[in-house]
Amino acid sequence: MHVREYMTSSVMSLNDEGRLLDAALFMRRTGKRHIPVVNKADKVVGIISDRDVSRLAPSMLGGITPDEYNRIFETTPLSMAMTKDPISVGPDDLIREAVLIFYTKKVGALPVVENGKLVGILTVTDMLGLLNELLNDSQSKAEAV
């Protein structure tokens, strides 16, 4: 089993010159929890998660005005919030290797890179789908015996 069989290949990314607001709006619009960040050459330079956005969002309980709250999102560069130089995998890497990275590094998503370019993303949710497939296959084989 290879990464390309389970990755999401229609992955969207954010430009590294973007702001925290771009990530927050993208996540809200798409429901995605992890977004690769690329530079002008389409090289992956980071990944931002919903947790990263939440971590930098100010608390409304802190007594700041709505304008101040919005200004933080509009002025905070993605580079401040994202994980820089994220661990990535290639489409021909074995799923076993990706699972080991998820397990040992405790990350939720891995950009999939080929020839220096972003070609997909592999998430823990994708791996849960694979686990479900394997468990169903195992159960079907057990019932057939």
Could you give the CA distance from residue 101 to residue 111 in angstroms, rounded to a whole number?
12
pLDDT of residue 107: 94
Parallel/antiparallel/unpaired status of strands 83-84 and 109-114: unpaired
Contacts of 114 (CB under 8 A, 6+ apart): 90, 91
Tell me which H or E stretch contains 122: strand 117-123
Q: Regarding predicted confidence, which is higher, 64 or 61?
A: 64
Which pTM does this prediction carry? 0.83
pLDDT of residue 5: 92
pLDDT of residue 137: 73
Mean pLDDT value of segment 109-131: 92
145 pLDDT band (50/70/90 cuts)? low
Could you give the CA distance from residue 131 to residue 35 in angstroms, rounded to a whole number?
23
Give the architecture-level CATH label for domain 3-144: Roll (3.10)
For the ranges 6-10, 32-36, 138-142, which has the lowest average pLDDT?
Answer: 138-142
142 pLDDT band (50/70/90 cuts)? low
Is the confidence at residue 21, as pLDDT, over 70? yes
- In the chain, domain spans: 3-144
What is the radius of gyration, based on Cα positions, of the chain? 18
pLDDT of residue 42: 86
Task: Give 66-114 pLDDT, tens digit per residue.
Answer: 888 888 889 999 999 999 999 999 999 999 999 999 999 999 999 999 9
Contacts of 87 (CB under 8 A, 6+ apart): 101, 105, 107, 110
